[in-house]
Amino acid sequence: MRAAVATGPNAPLVLQDLEVPQPAAGEVLVKVTACGICYSDLNLLRGHYPFARFPVVPGHEITGVVTAVGDGVTWPTVGTAVGAQFLYDSCGHCDYCVRGEQILCPRKRITGVVADGGYAEYALLKAGYVTPLPAGLDPVAAAPLMCAGLTAFNGLRQGGARAGSRVAVVGAGGIGALAIRYAVAMGARVAVVGRSRRGEDQAKALGAEIFVATQEEDPAQALKAWDGGADLVLNASPSTEAAAATLGGLAPDGTLLLCGYGAEPLVLPTQPMVLNRLHVAASPSGSPHDLRDTLAFSAAHDILPDITPVGLDEAPAVLEAMAAGTARGRSVITYA
Ligand SMILES: [Zn+2]
Ligand SMILES: [Zn+2]
């Protein structure tokens, strides 16, 4: 099978022919339909995951169809359309796993980082960690929902977004654009915080009520003027600093939730935080039950990202463009 392989930190992605793997007990072999190219894949190639196992096939935004199952697998059966995400598997017996919070398991493993992922025609996955695709959901456009969609949806949920909440989304890229659409569909009111006015039209087309350009105005003041502040700020930008700049724009009892972050530490203004009972939280992607809910909600509200389908051979060039900052939109690898 054709595969793109990460051979080591700061080494380019190499196209190779690999043997199609055979499923062992508890595993399923999935013929990959599509795999999203995520900024995390770039972090892997740059050596930002010290726990990575090289060589490894990257890719954790996988949709496909089960073609073979290992011993003891009663679900999914051959022919089932499934999705696979960042969480490859977990220990299965710690308190977090038993609570259905497998993403918090201290022994979780990450797809495409420590186990081979979707930059290949076939992927070996764990039967207990794949998610059924709702009927009618386009498996190519749905690929980024396994990561960006899950992170956005679960971030809103962890941050307590509900109908009528004022939700500010910082950054309207892959995660941010989906967060805007999910929040609007949940009945929340939405503000979008961006650097320049460039993203304003798109944000408003997605349902945002106000757009704050940080080049022109202080985001904290602008959000505070929005009926008293945001109940939830969801940071989908890769900047901790951009998130911190919104803290003064939270309503009392409001929450700043980090989905995106930068290398810089978060500095907190302690007195206003205490006096207004503000919360700061962070959220990784999500557990299998979160992904089921994300896909069900996406299907019910017809929320799919805009994507560009590319061939596996184009993946190295797409990643280079992402590294150079010249990539536009979301690319998804598809297999003929
Ligand atoms: Zn991802
Ligand atoms: Zn566990």
Question: How far apart are alpha carbons 258 and 313 in whole angstroms?
Answer: 34
* Residue 328 pLDDT: 80
Residues 6+ apart with CB under 8 A from 184: 190, 206, 207, 208
Task: Report every protein residue that has its C-beta within 5 angstroms of ion ligand 2.
Answer: 90-91, 94, 97, 105
Q: Using the mean position of ligand 2's atoms as its centre, give its distance from the Cα of residue 49 in Å.
A: 20
Q: Reduced to 3 states, what is the DSSP secondary structure of residue 193?
A: strand
CATH homologous superfamily of domain 2-147+286-334? Answer: Medium-chain alcohol dehydrogenases, catalytic domain (3.90.180.10)
pTM (2 d.p.): 0.96
Banded pLDDT at 173 (limits 50, 70, 90):
confident
Flag whether pLDDT at 336 surpasses 80.
no
* Residue 118 pLDDT: 98
Per residue in 230-255, pLDDT tens?
Answer: 999 999 999 999 999 999 999 999 99
Q: Using the mean position of ligand 1's atoms as its centre, give its distance from the Cα of residue 151 in Å.
A: 9
Per residue in 263-279, pLDDT tens?
Answer: 899 999 999 999 999 99
Q: Using the mean position of ligand 1's atoms as its centre, give its distance from the Cα of residue 38 in Å.
A: 5
Per residue in 277-320, pLDDT tens?
Answer: 999 999 999 999 999 999 999 999 999 999 999 999 999 999 99
Q: Using the mean position of ligand 1's atoms as its centre, give its distance from the Cα of residue 62 in Å.
A: 10
Mean pLDDT, all residues of the chain:
96
DSSP per residue, 281-292: EE--S--HHHHH
> Percent of the chain having pLDDT more than 90?
96
CA distances from 30 to 65, 132, 266, 271, 326 (A): 5, 12, 41, 53, 32
Closest listed ligand to the CA of 145: 1
* Mean pLDDT in residue range 53-80: 98
Q: Do 149-282 and 2-147+286-334 have the same topology in CATH?
A: no
Banded pLDDT at 325 (limits 50, 70, 90):
confident
Flag whether pLDDT at 36 surpasses 90.
yes
* Residue 329 pLDDT: 82
Give 227's Cβ-side CA count (13 Å radius): 12
The alpha-carbon radius of gyration of the chain (Å, integer) is: 20
Residue type at position 183: A
**Contact in structure between 164 and 174 (CB atoms under 8 Å):** no
* Residue 129 pLDDT: 98
Q: Using the mean position of ligand 2's atoms as its centre, give its distance from the Cα of residue 91 in Å.
A: 4
Q: Which CATH number fits domain 149-282: 3.30.70.20, 3.40.50.720, 3.90.45.10, 3.40.47.10?
A: 3.40.50.720
Can you tell me which residue has the tokens 């724009």?
A: 249
**Contact in structure between 261 and 285 (CB atoms under 8 Å):** no
Per residue in 199-215, pLDDT tens?
Answer: 999 999 999 999 999 99
Helices 148-158/174-185 angle, 10° precision: 50
* Residue 169 pLDDT: 98
Q: Using the mean position of ligand 1's atoms as its centre, give its distance from the Cα of residue 59 in Å.
A: 8
Banded pLDDT at 327 (limits 50, 70, 90):
confident
Question: How far apart are alpha carbons 1 and 24 in whole angstroms?
Answer: 18
For residue 44, what are its two tokens? 């892997």
Give 243's Cβ-side CA count (13 Å radius): 28
Task: Report every protein residue that has its C-beta within 5 angstroms of ion ligand 1.
Answer: 38, 40, 147
Domain boundaries, the chain: 2-147+286-334, 149-282
Q: Using the mean position of ligand 2's atoms as its centre, give its distance from the Cα of residue 102 in Å.
A: 6
